[in-house]
Structures are given as C-alpha cells and as structure tokens.
Amino acid sequence: MRILIVEDDEVLSAALTRALSQASYNVDCVDNGEDALRALNTDTYALVLLDINLPKLDGLTVLRRLRERRSRIPVLILTARDTLDDRVLGLDLGADDYMTKPFDLPEFEARVRALIRRGQFDAGKSLTHGGLRFDLEAHRLFYNEQPVELSVRELAVLELLLSRQGQVVTKEQMVDRLFGWGDDGGSNAIEVYVHRVRKKLEPFNINIRTVRGMGYLLEKAGEA
C-alpha cells in the first residue's frame, strides 16, 4: 500500500518515511501543496499525511480540493496548529483525523493503521472476480475460499487489476503502485510479476491479457 506524505519539514518527513517503510508501506513525499495535488491526480494512495503550513498551496486548500473531487482517500492532518478552531476547520473540510506536532511515533503508527483499515472498509472488504476473492483487510487471496499464496508484490499487482476490472492498467500505473519514487523498479520488473501472477491463476481459468502498447487487463480465460 502507498502513502503520500505532504510535509515541508525534511527531518520529520524523513523520520515518517523511515517508520512507514519499516512497516512495509510504500511512501512518496512532496513538500508543497501543488505537488501534492499533482501526485493525487496521477497516483493511487491508501492514506495522505498532510501538513497545513505548506509552500505554494496550504494543506487546507489541498484537502478542500481533494474532497471537492469526491475523493474518499483517508487524510491525517499533521500540524503545529493546536487550537480548537484549527482542528474543527480541518475536520469540517474532510480530514479523517488530526495530530498535533510533536507526537509520539507509536500513536502515529496506530492511527495510520486505523485510517487505512477504515478506508478499506469504506471501499468494501473484498475485491472479487469469478471465484477469486481478495480480502482487503487480511491482504490475502482466495479461490473458492481456498487460500492462494502470492508474494507481497504479486498481491499488489493483482489488487490493482482487480480494482480496475474492465480497464487497461498500464505498466506505469503498476510501477507507481509497487515501487515508491525512490525505489528501483521498472517495466521489466512488472513483466516478471505479471508473469508470476498469470502462472498462479492459470489453474483457476483466470487470465491477465496483455493489451499491446497499453498494458494489462484482467479477464476470464476464453473471453475476447
């Protein structure tokens, strides 16, 4: 799962990135509001960690524009502003939670987990396709309720395809989902992961079709 950190304090941003990466999240970081909106327009995130006092575009404006698009991405505000009015304004604009700096890392990590669980619940607990069922809460795959073993990145590939059934998913979108901006990953790695997922789904008559020059499409074997 990917998390976007929008924070212009480099020390705090690095510390949060380190903690989240150790918890097996992919993390992207931007330091201003304009880049935050650009990232949110092009990538898919499970959670946004949003500072309020940002260059170019403040965090509340970012939040307002995000909710105007009817996006339901969970947003956790991290800010030094600690007045009641500030908290109420942030929550009224659509923030899901609010933490005042400085904060304890264990509490921060617990709130991150809670917000991601809530976001998964809001989106539905499972993704299905034929006999496949991807349990979003447990992050496990089943076929006819029998577990199917996939690696973490194989699961990420399949989750993206399942969430966009009937749509072509490009290699670039898969790279963005599987690898953080600083990670070493590319189209060759995606081809390897897709090949592995294909092989594991073959016994279930589930096919991932290559759309030449575009990307991949999840379909049942035999469908045109």
| Segments making up each domain of the chain, as ranges | 2-123, 126-220
The three-point CA angle 13-51-28 to 5° equals 45
Residue 120 pLDDT exceeds 70: no
Q: What is the pTM of this model?
A: 0.58
For 149, phi then psi, to 5°, come to: -90, 120
DSSP states along 105-144: HHHHHHHHHHHHHHHHHHH-SEEEETTEEEETTTTEEEET
Class of domain 2-123: alpha beta
Tell me how far apart the 2 most distant CA atoms of the chain are, in Å: 60
Q: Report CA 9 to chain centroid distance, whole Å.
A: 22
Question: Is the pLDDT confidence value at 11 over 90?
Answer: yes
Domain 126-220 matching CATH 1.10.10.10: the answer reads yes
- Give the integer Cα–Cα distance in Å for 187 and 56: 33
pLDDT at residue 106 is higher than 50: yes
DSSP 204: G
